[in-house]
Amino acid sequence: MFTFLIVIIPFSLVENIGNFYEDESIFKLEKTTEVKELAHIRTNPIRAKLIDQVIDEVVALRKEEVKVNFYGNKSQLFTYLFPDSAFTYNFFQEPTGIKQHMNRVSLGMPNAIFYIGNYPRDFDSSKNFKLEQILLSHGYEKVEKDSFFYYMK
């Protein structure tokens, strides 16, 4: 057992140090965000800026009493920071969940849906094209920011 550990520990260190995380070498993950819940998490400067910008936008929208939701395969971080912004499970069971959500939004509450795909910005519109079509057909407008976008009604 001891021999196994002597072999496996150096091997795992060599393998993992050279690997990439968030498209960067682990040694380039040197930036933290302004958020206290994420104080011990390091990322690259581009992603730290994105996180801070999205949070600033969400805080500004909430001051205007806009309900904010997050959608996308990288949205977990923001639903962690804003637990009330998570969609219910049935939202992801297309198309009925999305249609039910649209009906609730149509009742008058202002709403913003942030699409958080690949960091820092998902330029491949084909990945969210169906969702975008549904949102635009229900009266949402796409709001483009420097490094992210969201849909607002």
**pLDDT tens, residue by residue, 76-87:** 889 889 988 776
Taking 90 as the threshold, does the pLDDT of residue 55 lie above it? yes
Q: What is the pTM of this model?
A: 0.71
Domain ranges of the chain: 45-152
pLDDT at residue 100 in the model: 62
Query: What tokens does 86 get?
Result: 């998570």
pLDDT at residue 102 in the model: 60
State mean pLDDT over 24-50. Answer: 81
Spatial separation of the C-alpha atoms in residues 31 and 85, rounded to whole Å: 26
Give the residue with greater pLDDT, 143 vs 73: 143
Instruction: Find residue 111's DSSP bridge partners.
Output: 67
pLDDT at residue 5 in the model: 76
Spatial separation of the C-alpha atoms in residues 25 and 130, rounded to whole Å: 34
Give the residue with greater pLDDT, 10 vs 65: 65
**How many other CB atoms are found less than 10 A from the CB of residue 147?**
14
Each residue's pLDDT tens digit, 86-132? 765 545 545 555 666 565 555 455 689 888 876 665 455 545 567 78
Spatial separation of the C-alpha atoms in residues 14 and 110, rounded to whole Å: 51
Spatial separation of the C-alpha atoms in residues 44 and 21, rounded to whole Å: 10
8 A C-beta contact, residue 37 and residue 81: yes
